Chains A and B, each alone.
Chain A
Amino acid sequence: MRITCPHCGPRDLVEFSYHGDATLTRPDSASTDQDVWNAYVYDRANPAGEHREFWQHSGGCRKHLVVTRNTLTHAISGVDFAPGKRTGRKRS
């Protein structure tokens, strides 16, 4: 499997580390609602099909990427920088 890092280009899987579900939103830091936090930390959907995941290019630019991957075919349909204003901009 290869992932096309938007910064470094197509690279082998061994350069990347998987860092979990990218579809979740972290609850507000000040929130103490245990159900909300529990869902964020532990509850995971296990979709058969398209899934959005965090992958860090740990053996390259070290950016976190959001990879859209089909869990049935392993086909990757999209790779983007993790959300935020740094998207597409090199940090030097």
Chain B
Amino acid sequence: MTSWRIPSGGRIDRAKPVRFSFDGKSYTGFAGDTLASALLANGVRLFGRSFKYHRPRGLVAAGYEEPNALVTVTTDGAREPNIRATELEVYDGLVAESQNRYPSLAFDLQAVNQLAGKAFSAGFYYKTFMGPVIGPLKGTRAWMFCESFIRRAAGLGSAGTVTDPARYERMNAFCDVLVVGSGPSGLEAARKAAADGKRVILCETNAAFGGSANWAGSDQAGFAETLISDLGANPGVTLLNRTTVWGCYDGNTYAALERVSDHRKQPVIGEPRHRHWVIRADHVVLATGALERLLVFPGNDRPGVMLASAAQRFAGEYGVLPGKRIVVLTNNDSAYDAAAKLRERDALITTIVDVRPTVGDWALAQAKEAGAEVLASHAVVATGGRNSLSSVTVQPFDAEINAFPGPPRRVACDTLLVSGGWSPVVHLASQAGAKPVWDDKLQAFLPPGSSSGWEAVGAAAGEGLEPPAPLFEIKAKGDKAFVDFQHDVTADDVRLAHREGYQSVEHLKRYTTLGMATDQGKTANIPGMAIMADALSKPIPEVGTTRFRPPFTGVSLGALAAERYGDIRPGRLTPMHDWHKSNGAGMYAAGLWYRPESYNRQGESVEDAYIREAKAVRRNVGIVDVSTLGKIDIQGPDAAEFLDRVYTNTFSTLPVGKARYGLMLREDGFALDDGTTWRLAENRFLMTTTTANAGRVMQHLEYHLDCIWPDLKVHLTSVTDQWAAAAVAGPKSREVLAACVKRTKLDNKALPFMGIVHGRIAQIPVMICRLSFSGERAYEVYCGAHHGQRVWDALMEAGKSFDMQPYGLEALGTLRIEKGHVTGAEIDGRTTAQDLHLDWLISKKKPFVGSAMMNREGLTDPKRWSLVGVISLSGEKLRGGSHIVDGPADDPGRSLGHLTAMCFSPLYGKYIGLALVENGTGRIGTRAFATDPARSGTHIPVEFVNHIFYDPKGERMHG
């Protein structure tokens, strides 16, 4: 292969050759090349196979709008598919491969799909696969069978399975002015803003700043370079190259992706692969330029057909000519300028085919400079060649009526440059909510003026663009004429969609998938709409454009996640955490907290351990860490009044030094949370909440104080983390405390049930409240969190002579199930006080949150699910979450409720549980089944009993 590199010029560094591989073959390029320009310089024209038909495809564009040249890059075994070769900078050791081809790019077996072209027209999948099964080959079932084959045949690159080894970062930035695009207009806007003392961020999607100044003409290059170096020296200006601004969000927040190290084989130490920027700007200048459009004509996708501006950029920026013998097809004057500039770089341009009947003097002068023959009122109607272009067929053409008033002739060439007019890049303005406005002269959508948050400048605002003839398609018979190259959508597909009744551009898009590929139709949308408008006989603005949404170009998911992946929740550990672990406890995640599950001794299973622990509490004494309970310190002259309003029961009557169990409802009358609240002083209470609901209850209280009763003088402080707490439970609990608490009386008179005393354990001040979750005589010992371990150790020491055993969450659960106490599994947001048999806590003397709504008809219906005890009759282990049914396994009938908790009860020697069951109370004494068909397959006969299995009168905890 001969080199297509121009001997000098361009912005590549010819002193730095770079070796890379494409499809296993080794090539050489220069630093500053993209994969596209380097391969083009090596004479490579075939870059990929198309999505549906597997047609050979080459380079169309030179930048981010490229639809065809998508490659997969492999780094350390990790594959990144669908990277545009036109944006991928080459580096030593780059390994890239083409996509959607088998067995090789030049010889692709599935190119036979072209022969079945009619079958793959718009809506092929809907028509063939969706809907009822009529014959053996039709219907959704057929789709399920064929899907894997079709997915393999149709498609783009495939993702890898190796974990991405790269590191990503997120950055927040603030500025007065964000300039998007560093072409001449963007640089000028940045210069002006910086001169006014503004903080400026300038983002450029390419490696080199300067935009079109880098290739459009030598006159601008020097000017741009000076501006860039001036801006770089200004401390108020941040220059970000390789950074694509891809999204616009509320409050002038813009998202940008900086490709920090994709151009290097290895990132520099400390450097991420990509950086996700969240930029908050007071004002945004959209200097995003304009994209040249293709024309639609038969065979317009053959490798060698390229945008005129792309050829100019390859020559100007990378010093590569796209071909040896060039024909130009245009509907506007900009292609003449491109031809003249290419001629300056020694390109041979034989013919300029112009669809317009008359060509202006300026254009003719350019053609003369280019040394090209001008064929006005002509069109290209066919292209020839196999995997690359070898000729075009030219025919006289009347664009007004799409007629061909003369014979065709072939023109030999290896490259056809096309210019179908220009579309300003309005994506970010559209994302910002602006509706683009159709400009008849430019045949393009423009951003609608400016808004308070942004303005468009330069080509993005339509400035300096050549007005084209209003022609998007040359309707000639022959090969397929493509609109969307990446999704293989042809002009006939658009017309078919119209004939089948799709009139809205949004429906057209979804039915044909026009503009829905990874390039989001950057070169396809406007021609597609124009063809639809033509079919509808409507002007283009009446067909309208779809709204653009983020991202503008693809964004790595790694960058969006940045450091936030894996389990990023903070773990909450109690002061005694390490003790639990070193004493054999498996730690169980309860929300953010870690709690000991059970303290397994040698050879014990979790079940063995919790049964032993629960027995120890019932017979003797045990100790459990309850530091995770939510704790709220409530102070102020109106504290008691406030509690009366939020609890269903009364707290103003509670004496100082006593605690009371309370229930809170939501405003809609359902139960919110339960817990004990202690009166520590006249105007000071300590509220405890369930572990899981601590945050919700705090918020509930704050909301009512801030928004409903701002006149109440109450102050709330979350003290969950400030108190460590241990519960000592069992018949010998008082003896254990007596052995370590100094100078404080603990007898029934000094410390009755629900009483509070202060004292010292191991010289540490403690608060002891006599309350019980287990149903035994029990005491909760509170101390400052930093002293938690010391007090725990002292309690353990005191318990030694009583054989006190630590118990975990499983034993705690067992004891509470036997006692019929509720937790979050029962207070699940759907249950009322009555459902949980907590209506004894409801005061009739005062209103409270929820009191007005709790007696609604639906909430007092006796058929509601209510709490009931369940005993396994077969000795089988019950499964939490099982459904309660009354039919046998083969015909269980509907669900009557579910099991909320289960355990092996040492008291009964059986598996028992709590359940919420329809008319639960009414079912006591009857039998049913607990069924768990999906997980364990169990179907266990159960009997319903009262939810309090143990000591219903509470004699043990009061005694």
Contact = CB atoms under 8 A, between A and B. Distances in A.
A84 B433 contact: no
A54 interface: yes
A17 B847 contact: no
Contact of B706 (A31, A34, A84): A84
Interface residues of A, number: 32
B710 interface: yes
Contact of B715 (A34, A56, A81, A91): A91
B208 interface: no
Interface string A1-28: 1100000000000000101001000110
B703 A54 contact: yes
Contact of A64 (B250, B280, B702, B851): B702
Contact of A30 (B253, B699, B847, B856): B847
B533 to A, nearest CB: 29
Interface residues of B, number: 24
A31 B715 contact: no
7 contacts: A1-B249, A2-B280, A26-B708, A29-B847, A63-B706, A84-B711, A85-B711
B706 A64 contact: yes
B479 interface: no
Given A85-B710, A91-B715, 4 more contacts: A2-B253, A29-B847, A56-B699, A64-B707
A62 interface: yes
Contacts of B249: 1
A46 interface: no
Contacts of A17: 699
Contacts, number: 64
A15 to B, nearest CB: 13
A32 B702 contact: no
B667 A19 contact: no
Contacts of A32: 852
B85 to A, nearest CB: 38
Residues of B contacting A: mostly: loop
Nearest to A37: B852
B710 A86 contact: yes
Given A1-B250, A2-B280, A41-B667, A83 B710 contact: yes
B251 interface: yes
Nearest to B249: A1
A1 B253 CA distance: 8
Interface in B822-875: 847-848, 851-853, 856
Interface string A54-92: 101010001110000000011000000111111000010
B645 interface: yes
Contacts of A30: 847
B604 interface: no
Contact of A41 (B280, B668, B848): B668
Contact of A74 (B251, B702, B710): B251
A83 B707 contact: yes
Contact of A27 (B250, B699, B703, B852): B852
A69 B856 CA distance: 34
Given A2-B251, A56-B703, A41 B710 contact: no
A40 B667 CA distance: 9
Given A73-B433, A74-B251, A86-B710, A29 B645 contact: yes
A79 B848 CA distance: 30
Residue from the set A29, A58, A81, A86 with the largest chain B CB neighbour count within 10 Å? A29
Interface in B682-733: 699, 702-703, 706-708, 710-711, 715
A88 to B, nearest CB: 12
8 tightest Cβ-Cβ pairs between the two chains A and B: A84-B710, A64-B706, A29-B847, A74-B250, A1-B250, A82-B706, A37-B852, A82-B707
Contacts of B706: 56, 63-64, 81-82, 84, 86
A2 B847 CA distance: 38
Which one of B251, B645, B708, B853 has the greatest number of beta carbons of chain A within 10 Å? B251
Nearest to B452: A75
Contacts of B711: 84-85
